[in-house]
Amino acid sequence: MMNRTLDVIVIGGVPAGLAAAISAARQGMQVAVADCARPPIDKACGEGLMPDSLQALAELGVSLEGCDTGRFRGIRFIGREAAVEADFPCGAGLGIRRTLLHGLMAERAAALGVRLLWGARVSNVKSGEVEVNEQVLHCRWIVGADGQNSRVRKWAGLTRGRDHERRIGLRQHFQIQPWSEFVEIYWGESRQAYVTPIGPDEICVAMISRARFASFDTALAHFPELWARLESAPRSTPVKGAMTVTRRLNSVMADNIVLIGEASGSADAMTGEGLAISFRQASALGQALAAGDLSLYAAAHQEIAGLPHLLGRSMLLMDKHSWMRDRALRAFSRRPSLFARLLAVHVGALSPKDFGISGILNLGWRLLTA
pLDDT value of residue 361: 47
Q: What is the pLDDT of residues 76-134, one digit of tens each?
A: 999 988 999 999 999 999 999 999 999 999 999 999 999 999 999 998 888 788 999 98
What are the respective helix, strand and coil percentages of the chain, to the nearest 5?
40, 30, 30
- 167 vs 301: CA distance, rounded Å: 24
Q: What does DSSP say about strands 161-174 and 240-249: parallel, antiparallel, or unpaired?
A: antiparallel
The full set of domain ranges for the chain reads: 5-67+98-163+245-313, 165-243, 321-369
pLDDT reported for residue 369: 55
Q: What is the length of the chain?
A: 370
The two domains 5-67+98-163+245-313 and 165-243 share their CATH topology (first three levels equal): no
**Around Cβ 29, how many Cβ atoms within 10 Å?**
20
Task: Name 58's Cβ contacts closer than 8 Å, sequence gap at least 6.
Answer: none
Enumerate residues 6+ apart whose C-beta is below 8 A from 352: 307, 310, 345
Those residues with Cβ within 8 angstroms of residue 17's Cβ, 6 or more apart along the chain or in another chain: 10, 11, 33, 35, 143, 145, 146, 260, 261
* 235: β partners: 174
Report d(CA 193, CA 324) in Å as an integer: 18
Superfamily of domain 5-67+98-163+245-313: FAD/NAD(P)-binding domain (3.50.50.60)
8 A C-beta contact, residue 258 and residue 175: no
- In Å, how far from its chain's centre is CA 157? 24
What pLDDT, on the 0 to 100 scale, is given for residue 69? 95
- C-beta separation of 255 from 197 below 8 A: no
Amino acid at 42: D
Question: What's the pLDDT score for residue 127?
Answer: 76
In the prediction, which pLDDT does 200 show?
95
How many Å apart are CA 205 and CA 174, to the nearest integer? 8
pLDDT of residue 281: 97
- The one-letter amino acid at 71: R
pLDDT by residue for the chain (370 residues), tens only, comes to 556 789 999 999 999 999 999 999 999 999 999 999 999 899 988 899 999 999 999 999 999 998 999 999 999 999 988 999 999 999 999 999 999 999 999 999 999 999 999 999 998 888 788 999 988 999 999 999 999 999 999 999 999 998 778 899 999 999 999 999 999 999 998 899 999 999 999 999 999 998 888 899 999 999 999 999 999 999 999 999 998 888 999 999 999 999 999 999 998 887 888 899 999 999 999 999 999 999 999 999 999 988 887 787 788 888 888 888 888 899 889 889 989 988 888 888 887 777 665 555 455 545 545 5
Are 113 and 218 in contact by the 8 Å Cβ rule? The answer is no
> Is the bond preceding 197 in cis, omega lying within 30 degrees of 0?
no
Question: What class is the 165-243 domain?
Answer: alpha beta
Give the whole-angstrom CA distance, residue 235 versus residue 11.
34
How does DSSP assign 83-128, residue by residue?
EEEEE-SSS-EEE--HHHHHHHHHHHHHHTT-EEEET--EEEEETT
What confidence score (pLDDT) does residue 270 get?
78
Q: In what order do the strands lie in the sheet with 182-188?
A: 83-87, 74-78, 182-188, 191-199, 202-209, 161-174, 240-249
pTM, to two decimals: 0.92
